[in-house]
């Protein structure tokens, strides 16, 4: 093996700390048929399934040349062998970014007859939640990961593919079979189980190692590489990245400040041409939906687009569809950096409902963790406003149960009567079910005015119309300050929360507007702050009541 192999950045194995001690994990090529391991690839067929064999596809001369070359290479490695199986799938080629060809087997007919493996793939959101406040990352990409897993003897005949050069069957797991990702995920979870959720994340053949310090990271890297060496699993050095302060993982960029959309995906969105068919709309919504946690009110925005994907719906692209398309593109391009949850305290949820859908925002200590939304179902369009608003609260608690269950949180709604929903005696059956769910959570429902609910819709430019932007500075914590006072953006209900806590918390005594302003201005700043505080205090019912009780009675009229 060449000890001086170089990755795409020009570094060799010998240049990388820790990695230089494990050259056998990074070979130039797979050494041959993998040894037996904890998992073998196997699957079952639906009862009564008969062998399916399709004629080979016609290939271009350049593809035939590539086919002969790859067949010889796979045979030499021991990955395939001649077959006499009654099964047979055709071969096709896909061009890679570098211009080379990838041989693909069209297993669609076999996949239709396969009983699906229900082994769960991890949720992307759950994986990212582990990465709060981390400073060091390394990413290991396995070399042809599927080819490092043997096929069970009973299944080998079913993997047969047909070419003009003969029939061949796989001895290693091929690409294109429906259960392949689940089986490989099972293998990787078993291999990395001692370190999962501690300092390792695994998603199929990608391994992410994360640490708080360089010293920790050195230990973590050694432990993972020792396991790979012990299990005889191999990585591709040119696709691995080590000792990073910021890492691209599963279409996102993660660093110590949070998670944001991969710029490469943003470029793809910018250049996306107007969809011409329902299939093209589905493709766009698939990409946009993957990043919906970054987009406020996603399900309301995409209504004109998703409606065109319905069956028997005429495809009519009009101004509403164009506006929705451009809005989603713009929101993806301007997607914010979302904070990663830090512990399970101080969560605040903002909920809203309309005749189009339900929307909510999860925040922690003034920073957005995620957005969520969905369209109304047909029967929900008949709900009263009260039930829709309550449904939005239930939707938020369900979708973020893993954050909110078992911890105290505050839920804000612009529907005042929901504050006392737990004390209502006359409830319909739907409301009773929902109240029963609410009782499982330690959440306080608070009211706030609807005009303050426009979550994350104002940006810095129109916020700074007074010209104060020249005095704003961004500090190391990623927050913006005005004359050393934290700038509070006009997003969501953050300003109202600050004023509300300063006025109603158990440590305050409903101070007047001047006193509140002097106290808050030492820490915070936003345009019109004094006016907002004065307006809030003037609407406080408790203050008005106390003031009325202590006023001197009016005299008789002359």
- Vertex 169: Cα angle to 166 and 172 (nearest 5): 145
Evaluate whether 545 touches 508 at the Cβ level (below 8 Å).
Answer: no
Residue 112 has pLDDT above 70, yes or no: yes
* Mean pLDDT computed over 8-13: 64
Tokens matching residue 261? 């959309």
Tokens matching residue 439? 């009782």
Q: Specify whether 433 is located in the same domain as 475.
A: no
Residue 170 has pLDDT above 90, yes or no: yes
pLDDT given for residue 279 in this prediction: 86
pLDDT given for residue 221 in this prediction: 94
pLDDT given for residue 553 in this prediction: 54
Assess if residue 373 is contained within a domain.
yes
**What predicted TM-score, i.e. pTM, was given to this entire model?**
0.62
* Mean pLDDT computed over 508-526: 82
Assess if residue 321 is contained within a domain.
yes
In the chain, what's the furthest Cα-to-Cα distance? 116
pLDDT given for residue 453 in this prediction: 41
Q: Which residue has the higher pLDDT, 533 or 266?
A: 533
Q: Specify whether 427 is located in the same domain as 278.
A: no
Q: Which domain holds residue 525?
A: 468-546
Q: Specify whether 356 is located in the same domain as 322.
A: no
What are the distances in angstroms from CA 117 to CA 43, 178, 184, 186?
8, 8, 11, 11
Q: Specify whether 401 is located in the same domain as 423.
A: yes
Chosen domain end from 206, 222, 255: 255
408-413 vs 347-353, strand pairing mode: parallel
Q: Specify whether 50 is located in the same domain as 184.
A: yes
Assess if residue 382 is contained within a domain.
yes
pLDDT given for residue 538 in this prediction: 83
Distance CA 28, CA 30 (A): 7
Among residues 107, 85, 86, 94, which one has the least CA distance to residue 177?
A: 107
Sequence-ordered alpha helix ranges (H) in 238-346: 263-270, 278-290, 298-301, 303-306, 319-333
pLDDT given for residue 449 in this prediction: 62
Q: What are the contacts of 477-483 at 24+ separation with CB within 8 A?
A: 478/257, 478/337, 482/525, 483/525
* Mean pLDDT computed over 92-106: 82
Q: Specify whether 278 is located in the same domain as 162.
A: no
Distance CA 513, CA 69 (A): 80
What backbone phi and psi angles, to 5 degrees, belong to 533? Answer: -65, -45
Assess if residue 166 is contained within a domain.
yes
Evaluate whether 547 touches 537 at the Cβ level (below 8 Å).
Answer: no
Helix (H) or strand (E) holding 180: helix 180-192
pLDDT given for residue 339 in this prediction: 73
Q: Specify whether 539 is located in the same domain as 509.
A: yes
Assess if residue 359 is contained within a domain.
yes
Chosen domain end from 312, 334, 356: 334
Assess if residue 351 is contained within a domain.
yes
User: What pLDDT digit, counting tens, does each position of 441-491 carry?
Assistant: 888 888 776 434 444 333 333 444 444 443 455 555 556 776 678 888 776
What backbone phi and psi angles, to 5 degrees, belong to 477? Answer: -80, 0
Q: Specify whether 385 is located in the same domain as 435.
A: yes
Q: Which CATH number covers residue 417? A: 3.30.420.10
Tokens matching residue 104? 């693909």
What are the distances in angstroms from CA 355 to CA 158, 299, 375, 395, 493?
51, 12, 9, 15, 22
Mean pLDDT for all residues in the chain: 82
Share of residues in the chain with pLDDT > 70 (%)? 88
Assess if residue 301 is contained within a domain.
yes
pLDDT given for residue 5 in this prediction: 42
Relative orientation angle of helices 494-504 and 529-538, to the nearest 10 degrees: 50
Q: Which CATH number covers residue 506? A: 1.10.340.70
- Return the HEC string of 383-400: CCHHHHHHHHHHHHHHHC
Please compute, for residue 206, the number of CA atoms within 13 A of its CA located in the half-sphere on the CB side.
Answer: 17
User: Number of H helices and number of E strands within the chain?
Assistant: 18, 21
Tokens matching residue 237? 């050095």
Residue 388 has pLDDT above 80, yes or no: yes
Tokens matching residue 339? 């904070």
Q: Which residues contact residue 479 at a Cβ distance below 8 angstroms, ignoring those fewer than 6 apart?
A: 486, 487
User: What pLDDT digit, counting tens, does each position of 194-253 carry?
Assistant: 999 899 999 888 899 999 999 999 999 999 999 999 999 999 998 899 999 988 888 788
Q: Specify whether 311 is located in the same domain as 363.
A: no
Q: Specify whether 352 is located in the same domain as 250.
A: no
Q: Which CATH number covers residue 246? A: 3.10.10.10
Helix (H) or strand (E) holding 536: helix 529-538
Distance CA 143, CA 284 (A): 30
Evaluate whether 71 touches 165 at the Cβ level (below 8 Å).
Answer: yes
Q: Which CATH number covers residue 285? A: 3.30.70.270
Q: Domains in the chain: how many in total?
A: 4
Distance CA 272, CA 363 (A): 31
Assess if residue 402 is contained within a domain.
yes
Chosen domain end from 302, 334, 366: 334
Share of residues in the chain with pLDDT > 90 (%)? 27
Q: Specify whether 273 is located in the same domain as 248.
A: no
Q: Specify whether 72 is located in the same domain as 160.
A: yes
pLDDT band at 10 (very low <50, low <70, confident <90, very high): low
Q: Which residues contact residue 298 at a Cβ distance below 8 angstroms, ignoring those fewer than 6 apart?
A: 288, 289, 292, 328, 371, 373
């Amino acid at each position: 093996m060449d000890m001086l192999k170089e990755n795409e950045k020009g570094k060799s194995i010998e240049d990388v700390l820790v990695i230089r001690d494990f050259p056998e994990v990074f070979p130039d090529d797979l050494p041959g048929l993998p040894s037996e391991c904890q998992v073998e690839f196997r699957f079952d067929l639906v009862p009564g399934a008969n062998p399916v064999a399709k004629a080979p596809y016609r290939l271009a001369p350049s593809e035939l040349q590539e086919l002969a070359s790859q067949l010889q290479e796979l045979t030499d490695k021991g990955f395939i062998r001649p077959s006499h199986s009654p099964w047979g799938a055709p071969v096709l080629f896909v061009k890679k970014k570098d211009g080379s060809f990838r041989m693909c087997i069209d297993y669609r007919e076999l996949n239709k007859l396969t009983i699906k493996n229900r082994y769960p793939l991890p949720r992307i959101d759950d994986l990212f939640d582990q990465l709060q406040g981390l400073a060091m990352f390394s990413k290991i990409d396995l070399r042809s990961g599927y080819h490092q897993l043997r096929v069970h003897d009973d299944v080998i005949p079913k993997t047969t593919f047909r070419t003009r050069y003969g029939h061949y069957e796989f001895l290693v797991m091929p690409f294109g079979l429906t259960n392949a990702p689940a089986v490989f995920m099972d293998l990787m979870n078993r291999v990395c189980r001692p370190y999962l959720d501690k300092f390792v994340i695994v998603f199929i053949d990608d391994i992410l190692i994360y640490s708080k310090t360089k010293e920790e990271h050195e230990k973590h890297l050694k432990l993972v590489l020792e396991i790979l060496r012990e299990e005889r699993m191999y990585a591709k050095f040119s696709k691995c990245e080590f000792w990073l302060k910021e890492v691209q993982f599963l279409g996102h960029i993660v660093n110590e400040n949070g998670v944001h959309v991969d710029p490469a995906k943003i470029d793809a969105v910018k250049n996306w041409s107007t969809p011409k068919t329902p299939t093209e709309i589905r493709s766009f919504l698939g990409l946009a939906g993957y990043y919906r946690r970054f987009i406020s009110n996603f399900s309301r925005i995409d209504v004109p687009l998703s409606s065109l994907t319905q069956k028997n719906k005429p495809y009519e692209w009009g101004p509403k569809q164009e506006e929705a398309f451009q809005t989603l593109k713009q929101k993806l391009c301007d997607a914010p950096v979302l904070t990663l949850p830090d512990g399970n305290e101080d969560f605040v949820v903002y909920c809203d409902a309309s005749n189009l859908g339900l929307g909510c925002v999860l925040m922690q200590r003034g920073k957005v963790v995620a957005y969520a939304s969905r369209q109304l179902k047909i029967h929900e369009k008949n709900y009263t406003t009260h039930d829709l608003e309550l449904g939005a609260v239930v939707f938020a608690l369900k979708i973020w149960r893993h954050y909110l269950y078992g911890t105290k949180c505050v839920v804000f709604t612009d529907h005042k009567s929901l504050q006392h929903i737990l004390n209502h005696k006359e409830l319909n059956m739907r409301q009773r079910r929902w109240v029963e769910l609410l009782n499982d959570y330690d959440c306080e429902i608070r009211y706030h005015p609807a005009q303050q609910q426009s979550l994350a819709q104002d940006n810095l430019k129109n916020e700074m119309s007074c010209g104060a932007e020249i005095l704003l500075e961004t500090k190391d914590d990623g927050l913006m300050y005005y004359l050393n006072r934290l700038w509070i953006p006009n997003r969501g209900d953050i300003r109202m929360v600050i004023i509300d806590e300063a006025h109603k918390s158990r440590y305050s005594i409903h101070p007047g507007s001047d006193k509140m302003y002097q106290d808050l201005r030492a820490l915070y700043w936003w345009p019109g702050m004094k006016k907002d505080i004065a307006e809030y205090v003037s609407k406080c019912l408790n203050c008005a009541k106390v003031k009325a009780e202590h006023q001197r009675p009016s005299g008789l009229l002359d």
